[in-house]
Structure 1
């Protein structure tokens, strides 16, 4: 029989190509009633151990696990014919469920879900095995149902259960009152192993060859996948080919990957863990954010990004991926990263020029869809309309061939928030009223914005806070607009929280409550900006600017890698519309400490008292992202050096400090 011969050939190939250590299984298999069936499938990698090496034979099996067992046991081919809404993209279990669905062995619920984590019922198991027998060309004979609970077996499952009874695959349980099938009951992993083993035996005995006229073109058997093993393969266009050789260790697979020029992918199970070219993205994880570390041990956190974010890819192994967010290059746990080969990229973030302004369009790699766009600021002269540009830091821009086209610093993204705005309180209130009035016509949720928005009348208070606490009022307003949806978010309306304070990625329903919006402003200034982010004494001090994922508040304040450029975009759009009073009113520069601390002094002399010290920081792959400052004036000090007077990050003791010019790079 063709099916039998194919299975035998696969088994022989695997025996010749797999380098296997001596098998030893956890004590929870030894001595079990179904030890033979469990050991059989464990040897073939159909049933896998947990992280402690246990197989948990007495634990209830889930729908997703049983579907995966069937796919592995019968070498079902990959398929993307069915897409269930509750399966994670890129998850190996997703591929196995889709393979079983594509082979006609399972289906989902009417709402489009599969519910992989639900315990599978005995009648659903019978249905899957029935369809597996049909797929494997076993005659679908049936036996009369004589269970005491026949009436509890759903009508649509009668035929499947009857076939299972005929072939003695799923048996009833003998109780005092008779034999019961228990159709709604769950089954254990050991039961699943036994049912699969009996199905396998039936297939070997009764499986029939597929008629030649039904298979016009023979196809090679799919590679059996063990999620704890390694494989190499190739990608050509959108076609991925995984080689059948199984490698027990990563080192074996990596050696094969490096040895052949034709090999460009390395897998662990079905997950791509190494590739020749492509991009990375932050995977769908429980915390909703992915951390980038400065070391391979994952103890030195540099920054973090929200899931779905695009990352530049440099390389990887079975433990970590080397990626870049902003201009920060570091290590991310491989379990939290998805690798996307170049030919499989469906979309990505890009920049473009329209009406002289630079816009940024964003792509979510989990949703696989564009999720919005915004204006960053003025477009640099080296960019042309109608062309897409790429980059991770908002400063360095590349073409489609990954060639650097130019670099450009958006003013408000790197302008010191210590420099006050030139707008008055009255002008800020006029801004607020005008933009709210325009919002009212854009969507129904803004219908009552002129009476309900928590931004109304904030101008006077923002200007007073700017003077008292030295935080730019336009920056505060732009942040409130961004974080509160123009003062109309649920947190703003119900909690007067216009900055999303303590609203976390993993729990967006949380959030602090304030008596008034003014209290929210004070909390933003005193508990965040002036406590941890702007002054050099702050725990998250990376520069007193909105910034990106390498410098400024954005490094630690927000998981959105483009939070800083979005805030800057709000400031730019407000400014160019209401007077152009702030744009390019300061001289931007970076304190480049090159790994060493830099002293800011009270006067332009090395003998002057130190106001504070710029701590050593990661300055990025380009070496350009030190501490952003705004130069007010320059002079020649008594030591013969040029000194720059800049706005002080700290507050107090002085509004301005002096830094020697050889430690500062004007932008």
Structure 2
């Protein structure tokens, strides 16, 4: 009898060890908006629950909690030490992570010598912190009605938008003074680490490609393969996520960025210009300008919506047709980005051949 009881206990303990860590959190249901992101970070040991077993995903994240999460992400020891802040003694649970994060230039205190560990993180501060954590340099060139150029968070917000870590609101605001919850902060961290979570930082009916897949375009005697991964343009720049393009014919090896806001879909070059390739909302007859390097902006018009367009990959029935002032035609599909480009004579320049 005792042997059977012991065997049953061993089996139970084994199942508990094999179960996903988030299952131990009674307040984190699978239908929570950030369930996947939180469980991803819990499995990595970046996010942990409270002593009562809860995760409290909708609770506002504090500056101390943010330091702990960032410290674990960066692999800091977290050993409790003296800090330069009057309100963070060596015995504070986050003292080690705060001290190491400050030394690494990721976090900072206030002019009065405090850190305010129990104060909430706001969206503007979150942008500043994550820009430093992920060493982001690319920008979005998106204007928000509540974010001015003289704000410290202005460029970090642009960096996070370009990195598909966050997005603004449909009303044209970013709300930099709003508090950030533990679930939201987890989502931002997960997006900085893993492309599959960046797919969630998009508007409804997005035209962005799936960042977990490889796209193949053919035409003009070449085959171009697009892979979304961390890439450095040169030794002086930190690697960042972008679409790396390789040419089968050897005529083109480059990198591009693909970005989206509530006002437009953009393509461009890393650390350089991005061009509005599609203006939102997508309405037939809508006209917009696309910048041309060294020349006058080109006027383009949405000339058809829900158009049937055949490509080697498949036939799309929901394509959007854009006609340029020079007679070029550009076709886009929701969730796929550019799918076909024709010259003024109707010849194919490039078209989507495969996704895998």
Q: TM-score range by the shorter chain?
A: 0.3 to 0.5
Normalising to structure 1: TM-score of the pair?
0.26
Normalising to structure 2: TM-score of the pair?
0.47
Higher strand share: 2
The structure that has the greater radius of gyration is 1
